[in-house]
Amino acid sequence: MGGKVTNTAPDALIARLAANQHGVVTLTQLERAGIRERGRLRRSQAGRLHRVHRGVYAVGHRGLSKKGIWMAAVLACGPGAVLSHNSAAALWGIEPSRARSFPASSRRAISHLTVPGEAKSRKGICVHRSRTLFPREVTRRAGIPVTTPSRTLTDLRRLLPRPQFAAALRRAEYLGLPLDPTLDPDHTRSELESRFLALCRHHRIPTPAANVRVGPFTVDFLWSRAYLIVELDGYRAHSGRAAFEADRARDVALKALGYDVIRFTWRQLASGPDVARTLCRLLGARGQ
């Protein structure tokens, strides 16, 4: 009996807060929970609080997840700060597969944030200042304030070479993220066509005519002797009910003119040998 009685209510509150913030809390939240300077010091010495940034602490252990690191950075930079640039791209799942795609100066920071006013970069955080970050360009993902997919891609365009930017845009399209229709769809279209032609060359498939008229339509690729048409389906141009119906009506009309139409997506082109085998079989059957 007679053991030391401790007040666990503040710790329980902080634990709940940390669970909703990927393991981190702010100094303000600690104080609101009733944990003042002496309490913070005591918990730090006991290994229950770990300073991550000025005014931000990890609860229980230092081993934060990537989302915990990002959340700590956002909290450290104050109201209005949001995850952005390559950090936002990683959170949305559209970061180019190789980190070296980003400039070296950009890769050194673990977290990239955009703030509406003045804030200094600090260890592990690169701060971007913007007067044009509008409320419609900010959302939350996994509870972390972050730029929308469209704003993230707009920021990436300034950092990445065009092929890497196009790859990020394609990935966003494939994931079905909400995107601004002004985000350079024509470039990704031309890259899709270039990739298909490169596949044909690599597998020694006869080069088709590109973007030619067949009846009332302009088709992507045509082998005229084989009466074979290939259409390339990018997510943006071919998503939605109206586009789906229009594509099928077009295919029926071309079939009525005697042509066979096959469609390939970005994902299918990534498995090049499968596409190549399909084309070789169809062209061989038609004497091409």
Query: For residue range 244-277, what is the model confidence (pLDDT) as tens digits?
Result: 667 788 889 999 999 999 998 877 877 678 889 9
Residue 55 has pLDDT above 90, yes or no: yes
Sheet holding 125-129, edge to edge: 125-129, 111-115, 82-83, 144-147, 138-141
| Region label for 204, one of left (φ > 0), alpha (ψ between -120 and 50) or beta (otherwise) | left
pLDDT tens-place string over residues 202-211: 899 999 998 8
> Are 172 and 221 in a shared domain?
no
| pLDDT at 174 (0 to 100) | 78
Domain limit, last residue, from 147, 181, 215: 181
pTM: 0.63
Nearest to 174 by CA among 226, 228, 233: 233
| pLDDT at 43 (0 to 100) | 94
For residue 263, tell me if it sits in a domain: yes
Residue 4 has pLDDT above 50, yes or no: no
Domain limit, last residue, from 162, 181, 200: 181
**Distance, CA of 275 to CA of 271 (rounded, Å):** 7
> Are 161 and 196 in a shared domain?
no
For residue 70, tell me if it sits in a domain: no
Split into its structural domains, the chain has a count of 3
Are the beta carbons of 114 and 85 closer than 8 angstroms?
Answer: yes
For residue 165, tell me if it sits in a domain: yes
> Are 230 and 140 in a shared domain?
no
Q: How much is the average pLDDT of 87-93?
A: 96
For residue 2, tell me if it sits in a domain: no
The CATH number covering residue 29 comes to: 1.10.10.10
Residue 127: count of CB within 10 angstroms of its CB:
20
| pLDDT at 250 (0 to 100) | 86
> Are 55 and 22 in a shared domain?
yes
Distance, CA of 99 to chain centre = 13
> Are 22 and 109 in a shared domain?
no
> Are 259 and 198 in a shared domain?
yes
> Are 277 and 199 in a shared domain?
yes
> Are 18 and 60 in a shared domain?
yes
> Are 146 and 101 in a shared domain?
yes
Q: Which domain holds residue 17?
A: 9-64
| pLDDT at 234 (0 to 100) | 58
Q: How much is the average pLDDT of 116-140?
A: 86
